[in-house]
Structure 1
Amino acid sequence: MNRDIPIPGSTKHKLINVGIQLFSAHGYVNTEVEEVASKAGVTVGALYHHFKSKLRFYGLIRDDMTLRILDRMEAVVEVVPADTALLSAVLSAYDGMLRLQVGFLLAEPDPRNEENKIAKCLEEIAISCEEEAARELGILLAESLRAALYEVVVNDGDPTLGRTALSRLLSAK
């Protein structure tokens, strides 16, 4: 049995579900561990027992959401022509972020200062498409994706306009 998959209804499972809701709605800085614990019906000590720190708790949740987005990106790239791979990957990521309602989880910079896995994935796609400056392109596209999501989450922007802007970025050669 995989220890990383919490048993439904367990303390760890409850904390993760509440953490997803609160970090998505309020971001890292504005989410208090006391509120997470209270809404999960457990003690703050239980949160620290399972996750050691707020940052590690956040990291586990953010990494899980990022993996879900990466899975979508990789799946779409496998079925589209190479000349549309980057556009398809970015739009798939954007649509997935909106569908999963990740909110601040992926719209705000990662407080852990770790490598941006979405940027790395986009870099790898750019390399496979023989794009120049693949690393820089991956970083710029990932930040554009984050900015489009931020506009929807923070400024109540129109998701369709964000999608249109991302498409425009990738069609301007």
Structure 2
Amino acid sequence: MREWIPVSTSPRGRLALAAVEAFGTRPFAEVTVAELAAAAQVTTGALYHHFGSKLGLYAFARQDVERRLLDRMEGAIAASESASGSRSTPAAASDRSAAVTSAMLVGLDFAVREGFLHILGDPPAGTDHDRLAEMLSQSIGPAAPLLGRVLAAAWRAALAAIADGAEPEDARAAIAALRLHIPNGA
């Protein structure tokens, strides 16, 4: 549960909303502190007061956006697992593969619809903690520990391609074409 939910009329809330919009549509390095402050109608000092730095504001905005993404993806996996039955059936690995692919497509659609191509398409800035890769790894199981990182990179590459002008349907087709081989013991 979040400790704080931004209120759009507060300076902190306006900064958070401005950050989600700016970092969603442009890479971290292209967004300036002055532009974030101007969009939120605050001084740059307010940004530093509330978030410590541009990276601190980015981390706050990314955590919020990423939580919304992961909620949707985890929901897609849970729905797929409910529809396919128990994870202990002989087809469990195939079902899990389909569930992970479905979740990646749900996440892609969410990121495109909300305009979060860069904030979610870029690897996390300022940290090695990759919540998307961790969630995908947990969904796959322990038999394929690096697969979550590989899938997260492929998913982000699809978002980057869209940000560079590719059609979202082409990116969806690329994700759907991935064939995961998850060992039965996973």
Fold shared by both chains (TM-score > 0.5)? yes
Task: State whether structure 2 residue 40 is matched by structure 1 residue 24.
Answer: no
The residue aligned with 1:45 is 45
Unaligned 5+ segments in structure 2 are 85-91
Distance 1:86 1:22, change over 3 A: same
CA distance in 1, matches of 2:134, 2:180: 21
Task: State whether structure 2 residue 170 is matched by structure 1 residue 170.
Answer: no
CA distance in 2, matches of 1:3, 1:121: 22
- How many aligned residue pairs are there? 167
Task: State whether structure 2 residue 165 is matched by structure 1 residue 156.
Answer: yes
Compare 67-76 and 110-119 and name the one that shifted more: 110-119
CA distance in 1, matches of 2:39, 2:100: 40
Structure 2 letter corresponding to 1:96: F
CA distance in 2, matches of 1:16, 1:102: 14
CA distance in 2, matches of 1:7, 1:69: 21
Task: State whether structure 2 residue 156 is matched by structure 1 residue 142.
Answer: no
Segments of 4+ moved more than 6 angstroms: none
Measure how far apart 1:171 and its partner are: 6.1
Partner secondary structure for residue 29 of structure 1: helix
Unaligned 5+ segments in structure 1 are none
CA distance in 1, matches of 2:131, 2:117: 17
The residue aligned with 2:56 is 56
CA distance in 1, matches of 2:58, 2:126: 9
Structure 2 letter corresponding to 1:94: L
Conservation of the 8 A alpha-carbon contact between 2:77 and 2:103: yes
Measure how far apart 1:12 and its partner are: 0.9
Partner secondary structure for residue 24 of structure 1: helix
CA distance in 2, matches of 1:94, 1:103: 9
Structure 1 letter corresponding to 2:69: I
- 1:71-117 Cα shifts (integer Å, max 9, x gaps): 00111111113512111111111111112210211112222132211
Conservation of the 8 A alpha-carbon contact between 2:134 and 2:148: yes
CA distance in 2, matches of 1:171, 1:109: 22
Partner secondary structure for residue 94 of structure 1: helix
The structure with more radius of gyration: 2
Conservation of the 8 A alpha-carbon contact between 2:137 and 2:149: yes
CA distance in 1, matches of 2:21, 2:167: 21
Partner secondary structure for residue 179 of structure 2: helix
- 1:114-142 Cα shifts (integer Å, max 9, x gaps): 22111110101101xx7x41x21111110
**Identity rate of aligned residues, in percent?**
33
Measure how far apart 1:172 and its partner are: 7.6
CA distance in 2, matches of 1:96, 1:17: 17
Conservation of the 8 A alpha-carbon contact between 2:8 and 2:17: no
Measure how far apart 1:3 and its partner are: 5.2
The residue aligned with 1:34 is 34
Partner secondary structure for residue 28 of structure 2: coil
